[in-house]
Structures are given as C-alpha cells and as structure tokens.
C-alpha cells in the first residue's frame, strides 16, 4: 500500500476551482515530484493534504474572492528567480472565504481530509511535515530559532528544557549549520537565506516524519545555495527513508531528485511517469513544452529557447475539452470534443492526440 494515496482531490474557493480531480500516490521512501507552472494547483494540493487551507465557515459561507492566478512563469533556467512566486490563497487573501476540499488523501490508510482538526494537529509536524517556499517569511521574526525548533520537539516528542535544546542543536548540526549552540539563540533576520531554509528543514525533520512535503524549497535561494539545499534534502531522505513530495516548477530539480513525476496543468495531472521515462519520452504536449523551454548547455548560445505561448487560463475548464488546447501547437478536432481521460498505467498521460503525435 502506498504511504500517501491522493484520489480525485478537488479544491474550490467559492466559484473558482483550483484543483480539479488530482490523483497520485507516494510510496514509502520515494521522492515524487509535482510539477507545473504557477496557478496549476500544485501548492493548493500540498496545502490540502496538510490540512492548511482556510476552512470555510460552515453554514454561512460567504462568497469567496475569485482565485488570483499569476501569469505563467518561465520554467527552469535562470529567469525563474526573477519571477515572484505567488501561492494563490495561502497568503494574505485567505481571511476571506474558505476552501471546499473534496476527494481523498489517505495517509497510511487514514483519510486526512476527513480527520478531526485535533487529530490532524497531532499528525502534522510529526508524521507529515512541510517545508515552505520563502524561508524568511516562514519563520517567526520575533522568536529565536532555537525556540521555533524546540516547540515541535516539545509538542510531538515530549522533549523539554535542556533535552530539547540539545536535540535542536543536533538537528541544526544535521542540516549543516555550523556552531549550532550559538545559532539557537539567534533570530531569523540574523541568518542568511540558505541558513534559514536549513532551519525550516530542521524543523520539518525534527520528528522524523514519514512524509515530507517540500513546496518549492529552493525558489527563493541563490543557485549555489539551491544545489546545497537539494543535496541536503536528498541526503536526509536517503538516510531516514522519508518519502518526499517535491513541489516545483523546476525540471532540473525533478531530474536530480525525483523517482516519479506528476505534471500538473490547470488543476489536473496531465502526465505521470517514472522520472527517466518522462525525460526520455515526454508524451503530453505540455510536458514537451516544459522540457523545450529549459536552457540547454549542449545547444549553441544563439539557439533561442522555445517558450510555451500564452499563459495558464484563470478558469479551469476541462469539461469542454483539453484545458491546454488554447496554448497547444498540435491542437486538433478531438482535443476540444470532450474531457480527455488519463490513460496508461506506469506512464500515464491526458492527451487524446498522443498516439498521432508519437
């Protein structure tokens, strides 16, 4: 049985649908990638699994603001650092209107979506933990980092006082922060970006979770630091046997880290395959487009990149045909004739033209 089984996950904010029937599995000890551009629903998917989406007020739900979807970002390459990532909903806008979450996200056989809030709180941080995108805003500016680590140890492992501090220092050492005992007393603003992300990782792995969800953990970091952080994640996952759900728009990260990949477009999985298979035989035109827009060292410097034209639509409409059709170069009659199904087992895709294209 898979450690995490997401089945037909649907998330809507009022009238706006963010995730429209996403299914995938994460096996024990495996690294699974969730790839797609901003607004495709990958962050919302992870937040839904963690139970961190704002709850709608039952009975008296107010009309939610339509989901803000950022323009498509260039995928991979150096440009991406310049594009601010916006996680829809999870930011400041979340006071208004809650999320309506449907489907199933079974963790070890237990559906997380129907779990009582208090039971979910006992699992969060202990069995499944999350690493966020922006390490500065994700750490409390007025609490020493040591306390931000020990509070998890206290809550889930019952460690207190000196024992907790000692363990926190061990964790900082584990994630590669020098002089951990001194660092414990420091505040987030006194650390560098890479160090802050290491602290967030230390917090996430503090209770040896079985599933780690990393939401774009390297997006806010310098390229050299990115490599170090990815190396650290890989090392932690390998040594502890933790399963990792890696959310990213960076196919380079996927290639280096993941065992399996799910490509998301407009709230649905459009292709899923083992990582080598995906890079060797990308089937869905969107995946092909993503791969084509990565700068490559083996091409000449004057060779232009091939961007995917247009940007992701802010309304999800799979009902009347493929949502990618307006941006697809190979669009044909059958594409807009109805809802495309996800076909295939090990290497699945959602493209009715796949056979013709191949």
* Binder among 78, 142, 223, 297 for other proteins (CB under 8 A): 142
Work out how close the CB of 202 gets to other proteins at its nearest, in angstroms, rounded to a whole number.
Answer: 12
* 32 Cα distance to chain centroid: 10
* 149 Cα distance to chain centroid: 22
Q: Is 344 helix (H, G, I), strand (E, B) or coil?
A: coil
Stretch of residues binding other proteins (CB under 8 A), selected from 147-155, 321-329, 336-344, 349-357: 147-155
The CB-side HSE value for 275 (13 A sphere, CA atoms) comes to: 17
* Binder among 15, 71, 143, 341 for other proteins (CB under 8 A): 143
164-168 long-range Cβ contacts below 8 angstroms, 24+ apart: 167/206, 168/202, 168/206
Contact present, 165 and 184 (Cβ < 8 Å): yes
* Binder among 125, 282, 285, 289 for other proteins (CB under 8 A): 125
Work out how close the CB of 121 gets to other proteins at its nearest, in angstroms, rounded to a whole number.
Answer: 5
Binding to other proteins, residues 270-299 (CB under 8 A): none
Q: Using CA atoms, how far apart are residues 244 and 7, in angstroms rounded to an integer?
A: 18
Taking alpha carbons only, the member of 266, 229, 213, 221 closest to residue 88 is 266
Note whether 126 binds other proteins by CB under 8 A.
yes
# binding residues, other proteins (CB under 8 A):
38
Contact present, 316 and 322 (Cβ < 8 Å): no
Binding to other proteins, residues 83-112 (CB under 8 A): 90-95
Work out how close the CB of 287 gets to other proteins at its nearest, in angstroms, rounded to a whole number.
Answer: 30
Q: Which residues of 228-241 are buried (b: 16+ CB within 10 A; e: fewer)?
A: bbbebbeebbeeee
Here's the x/- map for other proteins, 42-61, by CB under 8 A: it reads as: --------x-x---------
Q: Which residues of 312-322 are buried (b: 16+ CB within 10 A; e: fewer)?
A: beeebbbeebb
Work out how close the CB of 330 gets to other proteins at its nearest, in angstroms, rounded to a whole number.
Answer: 40
Closer residue to other proteins (CB): 126 or 208 = 126
Work out how close the CB of 350 gets to other proteins at its nearest, in angstroms, rounded to a whole number.
Answer: 31
User: Contact residues for other proteins (CB under 8 A)?
Assistant: 50, 52, 62, 90-95, 120-126, 129-130, 132, 134, 137-144, 147, 151-152, 155-156, 187, 189-190, 200, 203
């Amino acid at each position: 049985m898979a450690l995490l089984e997401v089945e037909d996950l649907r998330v809507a904010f009022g009238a706006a649908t963010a995730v429209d029937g996403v299914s995938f599995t994460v096996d024990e000890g495996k690294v699974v990638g969730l790839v797609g551009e901003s607004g495709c629903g990958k962050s919302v998917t992870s937040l839904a699994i963690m139970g961190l989406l704002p709850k709608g007020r039952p009975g008296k739900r107010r009309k939610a603001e339509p989901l803000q979807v950022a323009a498509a970002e260039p995928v991979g390459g150096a440009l991406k650092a310049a594009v601010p990532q916006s996680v829809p909903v999870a930011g400041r806008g979340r006071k208004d209107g809650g999320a309506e979450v449907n489907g199933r996200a079974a963790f070890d056989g237990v559906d997380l979506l129907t779990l009582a809030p208090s039971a979910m709180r006992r699992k969060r941080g202990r069995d499944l933990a999350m690493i966020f995108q922006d390490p500065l805003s994700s750490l409390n500016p007025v609490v020493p980092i040591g306390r931000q680590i020990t509070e998890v140890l206290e809550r889930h492992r019952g460690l207190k006082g000196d024992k907790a501090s000692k363990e926190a220092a061990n964790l900082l050492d584990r994630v590669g922060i020098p002089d951990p005992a001194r660092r414990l007393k420091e505040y987030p603003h006194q650390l560098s970006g890479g160090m802050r992300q290491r602290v967030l990782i230390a917090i996430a792995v503090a209770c040896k979770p079985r599933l780690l969800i990393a939401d774009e953990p390297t997006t806010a970091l310098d390229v050299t630091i990115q490599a170090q952080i990815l190396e650290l994640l890989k090392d932690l996952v390998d040594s502890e046997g933790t399963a990792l759900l890696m959310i990213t728009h960076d196919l380079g990260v996927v290639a280096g880290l993941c065992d399996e990949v799910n490509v998301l477009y407009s709230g649905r999985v459009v292709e899923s395959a083992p990582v080598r298979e995906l890079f060797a035989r990308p089937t869905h035109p969107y995946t092909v487009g993503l791969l084509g827009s990565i700068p490559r060292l083996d091409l000449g410097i004057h060779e232009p990149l091939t961007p995917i034209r247009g940007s992701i639509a802010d309304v999800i409409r799979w009902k009347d045909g493929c949502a990618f059709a307006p941006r697809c170069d190979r669009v044909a009659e059958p594409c807009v004739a109805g809802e495309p199904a996800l076909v295939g087992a090990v290497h699945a895709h959602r493209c009715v033209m796949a056979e013709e294209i191949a």
